[in-house]
Chain A
Amino acid sequence: MTISWFQAAILGVFACLCSNSCMAGQAVGNYTIGRPLVGGLVCGIILGNLQLGIACGVAMQLVYIALVTPGGTVSADVRAISYIGIPLAMVAISSQGLNPLGGGAANLAKSVGTLVGTVGTVLYYAVATMNLVWQSFGWKDVHNGKIDKLTAVNFGWPWISHALFSFLPTMLLTYYGATAVTALRSALPMDGIAMKTLFTVGGMLPCVGIAILLRQIVGKAADFIPFLVGFTLAASLHLNLVSVTVVSLLFAVIIYEIEMSGSNNTPSKDSAAPADGPSDDDDEEDI
């Protein structure tokens, strides 16, 4: 599989639409076009191998199932994962002759995608920094009372940041990267240490994504229990995700009822303490 200039350019346009600050908006750009699962569909169509594209997208989505950007700090960049990482992973998998639906292909996709996605954070900060130029135009306009120009500041000028730091890098990296990835086959045999490590890491990377999410929801040791119950329901009882969600709703209702009755009827310290305990941080923000 190779990537032509034309295909590389289309991938570049999609990179502009999805990467933060996304030209297609947060919900449609970042959260739809930028999702590796959707990126897999798009790359599959552009590169003409839908099945392989989706398989790579599914694998990569697992690593980034929890792409939370608290306070605008990122640990990975969706434009790089979905529109540089997935195309390169597709080329790598087909040049290695792997079964696109096998576990090996998925783990290779995760390793390639995560590497590219991590390096891609540079692009995120480059765009955000260049936008400061357009914002300085905006401040001047506000100062001079030309507020109608703000529309161009918000919707027009940032395209230049993306042309430089989304379109060009994506086009160049996918075009030249495909050749480099193909050359890997002869350099690194599949049963060698390097490839074995790469595949093993690929299998473990989603744990980091889940751990990032856990960092958001776990405050104290007891908060692990619902997480482990959910894990057990799926791993040991083989429930699917919708079923796990339904079971969890029962616990959610119970928690809600307990906290509401505890805080309304008996405002004594004993009953209020457990209800207020975990929310201390939130309460501080509220004030």
Chain B
Amino acid sequence: METTNDMKKLDHKTLTKSFHRWFWGALTCFSQEHMQTFGYMASMLPILRKLYPKHDDQVKAIQAYTAFFNTNPMLGTVIVGVTASMEQARANGKEIDGETINDMRAGLMGPIAGIGDSLIDGTLIPILLGISLGMSTGGSPVGAIFYIVAWVLMAYFGQRFLYFRGYRFGDQAVSFLVGKQGAAVRHAIGIVGSMVVGGVLASWVNVTTSLKLRGADGKVFLNLQDKLNSIYPGLLTVLVTLFCWWLMAKKHVSAIWTMLLLVVVSLVGVLVGFFNPGLSY
């Protein structure tokens, strides 16, 4: 058995350095073919230098990280932390090889990408942006500044927490995310996300019609927008959104073609008098 003096242990400074390399460089050398692979290798360099004094051992160790890697870079920080702890165990002669490390990385990057995209991009950011947009109405810079401060603090300290949690607990750190409890948490977050997105749509988007039917005496006898509002406020907005969803999700039309189709819809609508933004110089 090795004595504690011989045990190699990563110090706080090395771990912080590795974390910073991931925080700033996860995507700097991005390509469609290797995606975040180089960001990952660059983050592991400080760890390998610390654990393996001999240069040859460092070269040998980095081979494990040449495998393809891509995940949600924010939540994925936890994976980098886990590998730091696994690499430390490997350097101390535990029965861990490059393949074990890679199996862990490959097994986690899919679920973490899915959870991260729905949790961060799908829920947290729409809420944060929705609040910030409200504060910036009327051209005030307050909302933009609030977003910068709130998001950067959350992203930096959140990722830092995830990195060190990953290092301390190994893959136990994320086990709750992939089990039964994880499914329940994801569904619960999904509800928040859906409701917030509905709220964002209602607060910020307003598709209206200008269609008015006049009688022979010039009096308006049908104001379609008023009628629609009395049925369900925001009906047209919801319908246009569901139409776009149906095109993209059910008909597999790309976002760009969907936008082009909206151009056609708008043109026809303007020609028949259904839409009129009512502007002039």
A, B assembled together: yes
Which residues of A from 157 to 185 have beta carbons under 8 Å from B?
A: 157-158
In the complex, whether B224 has a CB less than 8 A from a CB of chain A is: no
Q: With a 10 A CB-CB cut-off, give which of A114, A135, A239 has the most chain B CB atoms.
A: A135
Q: Tell me which residues from 72 to 130 in chain A have a Cβ below 8 Å from any Cβ of chain B.
A: 72, 75-76, 96-98, 100-101, 103-104, 107, 114, 118, 125, 127-129
Contact (Cβ within 8 A) A20 B275: no
Determine the residue in chain A with the shortest Cβ distance to B275. Answer: A200
A55-B139, A196-B276 in contact; A205/B122 too (CB < 8 A)? no
A270 within 8 A of B: no
Report A213 CB to chain B, min CB distance, Å: 5
Is A12 part of the contact surface with B, judged by Cβ < 8 Å?
no
| Contact between chains at B23 and A25 (CB < 8 Å) | yes
Q: Residues of B contacting A236 with CB < 8 Å?
A: 232-234
Given contacts A51-B139, A147-B58, A235-B233, contact A255 B117 (CB under 8 A): no
With beta carbons under 8 angstroms apart, the residue of B148, B159, B200, B263 that contacts A197 is B263
Q: Which of B133, B136, B180, B245 contacts A211 (CB 8 A)?
A: B245
Given B122, B178, B204, B265, which contacts A66 in the complex, CB threshold below 8 Å?
A: B122
Q: Identify the closest chain A residue to B143 (Cβ).
A: A37
**Is the CB–CB distance between A20 and B27 below 8 Å?**
yes
With both chains docked as a complex, state the minimum distance between the C-beta of A243 and any C-beta of chain B, in angstroms. 8
For chain A, what secondary structure do more than half of its interface residues adopt (helix, strand, loop), or is it mixed? Answer: helix
- 10 nearest CB pairs, A to B: A230-B198, A21-B30, A230-B195, A51-B139, A234-B202, A211-B244, A244-B199, A231-B198, A27-B155, A248-B195
A interface with B by C-beta (< 8 Å)? 20-28, 30-32, 35, 37-38, 40-41, 44, 50-52, 54-55, 57-58, 61-62, 65-68, 70-72, 75-76, 96-98, 100-101, 103-104, 107, 114, 118, 125, 127-129, 131-132, 134-135, 138-139, 142, 145, 147-148, 150-151, 153-155, 157-158, 189-191, 193, 195-197, 199-201, 203-208, 210-218, 223-224, 226-236, 239-242, 244-245, 247-249, 251-253, 255-256, 259-260, 263-264, 275-276, 278-279, 282-283, 285-286
